[in-house]
Amino acid sequence: MFVRALDQTQHLINTTSLDDLAKPTPCPEYDVRTLQAHLLSVIARIDLALTGGDPLSIPMVTDSPDVAAAWKEHRVALDVTLTDDSILGRICKLPFGTMPGAAAIGAYTGELTTHSWDLAKATGRLDQLDDDLANTVLPMLRHNLPAEPRGGAVPFGPVVAVADDASPYDRLAAWQGRQP
């Protein structure tokens, strides 16, 4: 699922129009351009965390004149890192704690899946999302991100109510305090 989340994010980055860059996203602090720059930081942080580095040494946003090309470079490096099975048990430092590599991969699968929704929502491409990713990530998020408390040190808004038959991504977004 992690690779599928990476692939989904890469596809959305590669197919984002220049006309979309100034559009707002469900993340109030990011427009599409800044969200993509944040995703460059995320992929670099993933690789650094899995190889024993400190992901906080990478800023929250990494500007690039060619986001798609920069993402591809980071992806090539990360794919090499992922060939080492020992990373699954390696203790990794993440911005929100330390955990084995397998758990870090799970956490980053959630972040990538969520930000893919943010990007797709902002650019009108929700039909391009992989529902299996949202269905996989949502139970993990519900387990690791309690409904309360929210705000302050927990950087998520209150859970948004959605219908029981809401789409997988609407339920995922709502759990994280985003308006679907």
pLDDT in tens, 30-62: 999 999 999 999 999 999 999 999 999 999 999
According to the model, what pLDDT value does residue 150 have? 81
The tokens describing 134, both together, are 């949202």
Say whether pLDDT at 154 is over 80.
no
- Which amino acid is it at 100? P
pTM recorded for the entire structure: 0.94
Backbone angles phi, psi at 124, to 5 degrees: 70, 35
Say whether pLDDT at 175 is over 80.
yes
DSSP 96: T
- Alpha-carbon radius of gyration of the chain: 16
Backbone angles phi, psi at 36, to 5 degrees: -65, -40
Instruction: Report the SS3 class of residue 24.
Output: strand
Per-residue confidence band for 156, with pLDDT thresholds at 50, 70 and 90: confident
How much of the chain exceeds pLDDT 90, in percent? 87
- Which amino acid is it at 58? I
The better pLDDT of the pair 155, 106 is held by 106
Superfamily of domain 2-130: dinb family like domain (1.20.120.450)
According to the model, what pLDDT value does residue 152 have? 76
80-98: per-residue pLDDT in tens? 999 999 999 999 998 888 9
Residue-averaged pLDDT of the chain: 95
* For the chain, domain boundaries: 2-130
The tokens describing 53, both together, are 């580095």
Say whether pLDDT at 153 is over 90.
no
According to the model, what pLDDT value does residue 28 have? 85
Say whether pLDDT at 176 is over 80.
yes
